[in-house]
Chain A
Amino acid sequence: MSVEVKNAIKQFGAFTALDRVSLKVESGELVALLGPSGSGKTTLLRMIAGLEFPDNPQESQILFYGEDVTTIPASERKAGFAFQHYALFRHMSVFENIAFGLRVRPKTTRPPEKEIRARVEKLLRLIQMEPLGPRFPSQLSGGQRQRVALARALAVEPKVLLLDEPFGALDAKVRKDLRRWLRQLHDEIHVTTLFVTHDQEEALEVADRVAILRAGRIEQIGTPDEIYDRPASSFVYDFLGNVNLFSGRIKDDSVVIGETAFALTEKSGAEDTDAVAFVRPHDIRVTRSASGQSTLPARVVRCHAAGPLANLELERLDGGGWFTVQLSREQFHELQPRTGETVYVELKTVKVFAESLPINYSI
């Protein structure tokens, strides 16, 4: 039981929005489509809704629980869609907005007025806006509008709920509240949901699984833990953010950064290839003395210790640029770093991606 896209291609002029994308979302799952702008995430969502159609209808398929909906128009797909800018009907009250999907049904399947009222009331309770039914959208805040848009999409009992950057137009505080609320709502009603975002924090926090898109392809799909701990490519690593890049060279079983060689856990078999080592700021240890061989000397450029974690900005002495280290408050007070002094850093968890090789390594 799943919502599935197989092998979809979509081009807009010379621009390829989707390049043979396949995606499977299990029933009741909450999946985030994460990627930079132009990566095709919104196009994929619109294609599932039936607002776009694949360029290769013979080779591609869109399945809702086994049923082929590839050529079925949006109005008959029963996919609930919420837009970034809500697209509420301004001339209708909140109540009528939510009731819209029920009122436009043909007479034979339209529920009686009493049932429509009951269902809208129930949805108003669900979005915690019971008294606001008679209001017009212009009288609501952004967060309230997005909740109405969600209720409107849910009113038709969709087979899949599709949210296009649902929190994109809201300010930071409302965003955080609303995404927590969305997660709770999903745990309550278990409707298969896909949402598009370019905010990695949002995707990792809310979704059961995250699909990362790049240039019309799915780069990696997995649980937030899998994606964060085992990124499949340098792009995923970089896109998830909060990471330092050290460029160096792979030489057989070690990677050389600056003048320091770090041993790899597996043999690469490669001879002298360009590589990039990715290290998260909290996976770096800072000491005053060069203890082992595998340390890099660096100069402290800036320290700021406000908040639960202390951040150090360091500059490599070998001219390889700046990087950031995160220390706990205790570590920071133990070390007492001063601006301008030289320290030695040890890389604890490193992932190395060799650009010209198909395999990735870790130290």
Chain B
Amino acid sequence: MLPGFNLSLGFTLFYLGLIVLIPLSAVFWKTSTLSWSQFWDTVTMPTALASYRLTFGTSFLAALANAFFGLIVAWVLVRYEFFGKRIVDAMVDLPFALPTAVAGITLATLYAQSGWIGRFLTPLGIHAANSQLGIFVALTFIGLPFIVRTVQPVLEDLEPELEEAATSLGANRWQVFWRVILPMLAPALLTGFALAFARALGEYGSVIFIAGNIPMKTQITPVIIMAELDMFDYAKATAIAVVMLVSSFVLLLGINILQWWTNRYNTTNLA
């Protein structure tokens, strides 16, 4: 074993405890001040149930859309040389860097009925502002870099020989992509998907401006938690937070298992 194991493990556990576990356990502790029936009533109230569906549903769809389009962006950035490539590459990180409230206000302005984009959508009967579509747009915006930045390095490391080998064995370009390239990218793609999905679940700033926050329709779960906090009902707020926390954890665990499975050929090394 490398020297310094005890010290570094101790530090890791202390750090995780301080930064992650203590705040999270406070959520559970505060929730436990509610009785079981109070807890159940809070987390199953119709507005909360609608918000779970909305939050998890749109987050999932946004991450899925990013997985698809982010893969294309990463592909173009790795496989082609073109003028302004570095600028495009830098632009991918903008959603990371931009304060989410700024992004939210910008998107809300663009997609409003009279906005630059909204004015073309309204005649088509598409209303992005104050709708679930708007939430989807905002969540897609903040999730894009996760996919691109996880897939890009893996794609760069993919040896051209693999594709040449597949081609010389008679595979057409489509088969090369589906049978060779995509399976090799799958672990990275899933990691990116999980990160984008997790980020979208907790997103608040960029959504509230464009969503309109109409209960039962466009109210995401973090907004409900904020509403409870505004009424100083901390226990209720944390109860809903517990639901978010547990379900997010279960989902991410599932994605991690899936990712481990797609990557099993790398982890089962010869002893």
> Do A and B truly interact?
yes
The chain A residues found within 8 Å of chain B, CB to CB, are 49-51, 73-81, 83, 85, 87-92, 100-101, 104-105, 136-141, 149, 152-153, 155-156
Q: Are A100 and B184 in contact (CB under 8 A)?
A: no
Q: Are B268 and A139 in contact (CB under 8 A)?
A: yes
Q: Within the complex, which residue of B159, B165, B268 is in contact with A81, where a contact is CB–CB below 8 Å?
A: B165
- A-B contacts, CB under 8 A, total: 84
Complex formed: what's the CA distance from A90 to B180 in Å?
9
How would you classify the secondary structure of chain A's contact residues: helix, strand, loop or mixed? loop
Q: Are A100 and B179 in contact (CB under 8 A)?
A: yes
Residues of A within 8 A of B167 (CB): 51, 73-75
Given A91-B183, A138-B270, A139-B268, A101–B161 Cβ distance below 8 Å?
Answer: no
* Chain A min CB distance to B182 (Å): 10
Q: Are A104 and B164 in contact (CB under 8 A)?
A: no
Which among B90-98, B168-176, B194-202 touches the partner chain?
B168-176
Given A74-B164, A90-B184, A100–B171 Cβ distance below 8 Å?
Answer: yes
Q: Within the complex, which residue of A85, A92, A105, A156 is in contact with B159, where a contact is CB–CB below 8 Å?
A: A85
Q: Within the complex, which residue of B169, B175, B180, B270 is in contact with A152, where a contact is CB–CB below 8 Å?
A: B169
Complex formed: what's the CA distance from A140 to B265 in Å?
12
Whose C-beta in chain A lies nearest to the C-beta of B165?
A: A87
Complex formed: what's the CA distance from A141 to B161 in Å?
19
In the complex, per-residue mask of B247-271: 1 if CB is within 8 Å of any chain A CB, else 0: 0000000000000001011101110
Other than the given A49-B168, A88-B165, A90-B266, 11 more pairs (CB < 8 A) read A73-B167, A74-B167, A78-B170, A80-B169, A81-B165, A83-B165, A87-B165, A92-B265, A100-B179, A139-B268, A153-B168
* Chain A min CB distance to B74 (Å): 19
Let me know if B76 is at the binding interface, CB within 8 A.
Answer: no
Residues of A within 8 A of B172 (CB): 75, 104
Q: Within the complex, which residue of B159, B162, B171, B270 is in contact with A104, where a contact is CB–CB below 8 Å?
A: B171
* Chain B min CB distance to A59 (Å): 25
Residues of A within 8 A of B242 (CB): none
Complex formed: what's the CA distance from A76 to B167 in Å?
9
Residues of B within 8 A of A149 (CB): 165
Given A100-B166, A104-B179, A138-B269, A87–B161 Cβ distance below 8 Å?
Answer: yes
* Chain B min CB distance to A109 (Å): 10
Whose C-beta in chain B lies nearest to the C-beta of A103?
A: B179
Residues of B within 8 A of A139 (CB): 268-270
Complex formed: what's the CA distance from A81 to B172 in Å?
16
Whose C-beta in chain A lies nearest to the C-beta of B174?
A: A104
